[in-house]
């Protein structure tokens, strides 16, 4: 075991036990999820962040690739009270620094009180507090990661469920989780996954029944191409979105987004559906929120803890979005029917088949 230091914005340095060596910097956030570490670590929405697990033991059921949401680990570094050897081996194999044996209650309390903050990490035989402080010094604010979409998106368009008979989905990949694509393909959709900066002509070429904006890391203000795409399509094509997708859709329709103090990350965030009065448990991972939905969207679901918008519907256009993660990986499966609703919206817009009248 080696030395490990975590330098927090403001200069406070916490000492821990080094498990996977290296230096890193990023926005310090925490998740309260007590399982699902494989899904969280491979969720592209954690790009440029340092993930603290508030649950004290991480790795107790091993590491299995079939649970991965993408092909790599996205947080820049990982902090937990206790990491198992299995998970450390995985982090080490991808050069992701890891620290344990520190009081994560202190880290979480700091983030809750001060908000998500920059941090610097140094782990290794000769690591020093100054190395961690030097990383902190170089850490950018999340909103300054203007090219973050490029870091996580596909380079070329790919197609999933090509042999399916259902709806055609044009999914804009701003850092999509694999289980979102799987949820659509399992419902017989053909999903064309486009780079985050796809043009209207690219998307038009597949004649989509619905334009779907994915989840993804960073500030929605840094995804102007996707915002423009929504504006161009929304009059004629149904639009759906998850998490970053909800934020992008709101920005495209005259709404605004803002940074939250420390965000929502966990698997037991209660959400109230304003029409049915039903509360569902949801899985979440976001640090921004829709501040004002604008004139073309209405809030249909809210977070029970802080009233922030969790679901939006179009008032003038066919639009449906969620701030939480209905694909529920990890998470309770209360919300999977979102994908049925999206495909129903898409079906409704499909012009009736022309039947020969002979
Ligand atoms: N999971 C997501 O799509 C996250 C959205 C956005 N990056 C946020 O932090 O709010």
Q: Which residues are annotated as a binding site for L-glutamine?
A: 45, 216, 218, 244, 247, 285, 287-288
pTM beyond 0.90: yes
Task: State the ipTM, two decimals.
Answer: 0.98
Question: pLDDT tens digits for 195-246?
Answer: 999 999 999 999 999 999 999 999 999 999 999 999 999 999 999 999 999 9
Q: What is the pLDDT of residue 123?
A: 98
Domains of the chain: 2-140 (3.50.30.20), 148-349 (3.40.50.880)
pLDDT digits (tens, 9 = 90+) for 48-78: 999 999 999 999 999 999 999 999 999 999 9
CA 300/CA 310 separation, integer angstroms: 8
Q: What distance in Å separates the CA atoms of residue 7 and residue 284, rounded to the nearest whole number? A: 26
Known catalytic membership, residue 160? no
CA of 218 to the centre of ligand 1 (A): 6
Q: Based on the residue annotation, tell me whether 327 is a catalytic residue of this protein.
A: yes
Q: Ligand 1 centre from 286 Cα, in Å? A: 4
* Residue 114 annotated among the catalytic residues of the structure: no
Q: Report how far residue 87's alpha carbon sits from residue 78's, in angstroms, rounded to the nearest whole number.
A: 10
Pocket around ligand 1 at a 6 A CB cut-off: 45, 215-218, 243-244, 285-288
Structure tokens at 153: 């998106």
Ligand 1 centroid, distance to 109 Cα (angstroms):
21
pLDDT digits (tens, 9 = 90+) for 82-94: 999 999 999 999 9
C-alpha distances out from residue 92 to 17, 20, 115, 123, 262, Å: 14, 5, 29, 11, 28
Which H/E stretch holds residue 88?
helix 85-93
Among 39, 47, 217, 220, residue to substitute to test ligand 1 (most atoms within 8 Å of Cβ): 217
Best residue among 175, 215, 289 to mutate for probing ligand 1's pocket (most ligand atoms within 8 Å of CB) is: 215
């Amino acid at each position: 075991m080696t030395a490990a230091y975590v330098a927090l914005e403001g200069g406070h340095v916490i000492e821990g036990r080094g498990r996977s060596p290296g230096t890193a910097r990023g926005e310090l956030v925490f998740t309260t999820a007590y399982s699902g570490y494989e899904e969280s670590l491979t969720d592209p929405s954690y790009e440029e962040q340092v993930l603290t697990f508030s649950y004290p033991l991480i790795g107790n059921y091993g590491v299995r690739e079939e649970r991965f949401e993408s092909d790599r680990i996205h947080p820049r570094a990982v902090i937990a009270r206790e990491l198992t050897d299995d998970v450390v081996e995985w982090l080490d194999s991808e050069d992701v620094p890891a620290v344990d044996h520190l009081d994560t209650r202190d880290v979480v309390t700091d983030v809750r009180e001060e908000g998500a903050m920059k941090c610097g990490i140094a782990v290794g035989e000769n690591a020093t507090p100054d190395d961690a402080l030097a990383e902190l010094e170089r850490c950018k604010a999340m909103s300054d990661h203007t090219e973050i979409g490029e870091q996580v998106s596909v380079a070329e368009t790919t197609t999933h469920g090509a042999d399916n008979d259902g709806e055609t989905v044009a999914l804009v990949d701003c850092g999509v989780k694999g289980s979102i694509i799987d949820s659509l393909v399992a419902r017989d959709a053909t999903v064309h996954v486009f780079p985050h900066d796809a043009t209207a002509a690219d998307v038009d070429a597949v004649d989509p029944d619905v334009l779907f904006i994915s989840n993804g890391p960073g500030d929605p203000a840094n995804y102007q191409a996707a915002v423009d795409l929504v504006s161009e399509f929304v009059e004629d094509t149904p639009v759906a979105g998850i998490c970053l997708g909800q934020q992008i859709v709101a920005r495209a329709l005259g709404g605004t987004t803002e940074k939250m103090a420390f965000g929502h990350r966990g698997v037991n965030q209660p959400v109230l559906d304003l029409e049915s009065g039903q509360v569902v448990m949801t899985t979440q991972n976001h640090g921004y929120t829709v501040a004002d939905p604008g004139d073309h969207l209405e809030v249909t679901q809210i977070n029970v803890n802080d009233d922030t918008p969790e679901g939006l519907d179009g008032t003038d256009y066919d639009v449906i979005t969620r701030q939480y993660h209905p694909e529920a990986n990890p998470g309770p499966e209360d919300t999977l029917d979102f994908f049925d609703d999206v495909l129903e919206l898409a079906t409704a817009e499909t012009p009736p088949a022309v039947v020969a009248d002979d």
